[in-house]
């Protein structure tokens, strides 16, 4: 069974349709890359999946659980949104770290806030905090930042900040890790650092959705690829099908910009 099922998702801002009848599914351990021109709806799709935007239509299910269905008012209740977001970890293109906190604290923060809501928190506060810190240190070490845990964001490079952001997203053990143009704010050298981390996560069969303009990377890392244009999924398939034998003329035109200089 698919870990993620998206059916007929739509979203408009004022009179502009940004997403039109988006339907796809994702299996556990797969990597889905979403490509397309700026303004094609890629980021809005991720924001709808993470409930940072409310879709206008369609449905979203994770592990067979319906998180959103336009025909079921209960799934639109505000009180459930934070719980739904726990299924997804989102890595923003501009890091979005808290500047007043160290790398370690940035990774620990969300889990600490959730822990405080548990009925036994006060009774086991020390042990809970120690376990959260231990896991945060493990993740930052995995990201190659063992010697940077006590640094603040302004003391880190862009690539290091993005690796902290990845560790933070992983800390809550999401079902699906989502990346919104994770290298767009980085120079080529730092881009390589972040792509290496994402490749490592793919090798560990982490389920991921990646919005990217790194075509060579998308071709190498993906299980499947979606090409979006004008708010629609114009083409989807394996990397070989989309990159090597695209069917749609618009897909061919888009990809030619990356192969012809």
Identify whether the C-beta of residue 140 lies closer than 8 Å to the C-beta of residue 134: no
d(CA 228, CA 244): 17
Alpha helices in 90-212 (DSSP H): 103-115, 125-142, 158-171, 188-203
Enumerate domains of the chain plus CATH numbers. 1-96+175-255 (3.40.50.300)
Element (H, E) at 9: strand 4-13
Q: String of b and e for 27-39 (b: at least 16 CB within 10 Å)? A: eeebbbbbbbbee
Identify whether the C-beta of residue 50 lies closer than 8 Å to the C-beta of residue 43: no
- Which residue from 223, 163, 151 is spatially nearest to 190, judged by alpha carbons? 163
CB atoms within 10 A of CB 135: 17
Q: Which two tokens stand for residue 179?
A: 């990346």
What is the pTM for the complete model shown? 0.93
Residues 6+ apart with CB under 8 A from 226: 24, 32, 33, 34, 35, 233, 235, 236
3-class DSSP assignment, residue 4: strand
> What angle (nearest 5°) sits at the alpha carbon of residue 34, between those of residues 32 and 39?
160
pLDDT in tens, the chain (261 residues): 799 999 999 999 999 999 999 999 999 999 999 999 999 999 999 999 999 999 999 999 999 999 999 988 888 777 777 788 899 999 998 899 999 999 999 999 999 999 998 888 889 999 999 999 999 999 999 999 999 999 999 999 999 999 999 999 999 999 999 999 999 989 888 999 999 999 999 999 999 999 999 999 999 999 999 999 999 999 999 999 999 999 999 999 999 988 654
């Amino acid at each position: 069974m698919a870990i993620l099922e998206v059916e007929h998702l739509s979203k408009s801002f004022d009179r502009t349709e940004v997403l039109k009848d988006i339907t796809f599914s994702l299996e556990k351990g797969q990597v889905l890359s979403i490509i397309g021109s700026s303004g094609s709806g890629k980021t809005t799709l991720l924001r709808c999946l993470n409930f940072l935007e409310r879709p206008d239509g369609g449905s979203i299910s994770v592990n067979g659980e319906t998180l959103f269905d336009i025909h079921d008012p209960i799934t639109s209740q505000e009180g459930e949104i934070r719980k739904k977001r726990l299924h997804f970890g989102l890595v923003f293109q501009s890091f979005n770290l808290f500047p007043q906190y160290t790398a370690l604290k940035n990774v620990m923060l969300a889990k600490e806030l959730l822990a405080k809501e548990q009925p036994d928190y006060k009774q086991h506060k020390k042990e809970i905090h120690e376990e959260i810190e231990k896991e945060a240190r493990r993740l930052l070490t995995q990201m190659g930042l063992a010697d940077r845990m006590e640094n603040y964001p302004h003391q880190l490079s862009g690539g290091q900040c993005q690796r902290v952001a990845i560790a933070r997203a992983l800390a809550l053990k999401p079902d699906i890790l989502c990346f919104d143009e994770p290298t767009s704010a980085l120079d080529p050298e730092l881009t390589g650092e972040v792509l290496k981390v994402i490749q490592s996560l793919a090798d560990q069969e982490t389920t991921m959705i990646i919005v990217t303009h790194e075509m060579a990377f998308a071709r190498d890392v993906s299980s499947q690829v979606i090409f979006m244009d004008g708010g629609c999924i114009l083409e989807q398939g394996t990397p070989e099908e989309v990159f090597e034998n695209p069917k749609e003329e618009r897909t061919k035109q888009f990809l030619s910009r990356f192969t012809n200089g």
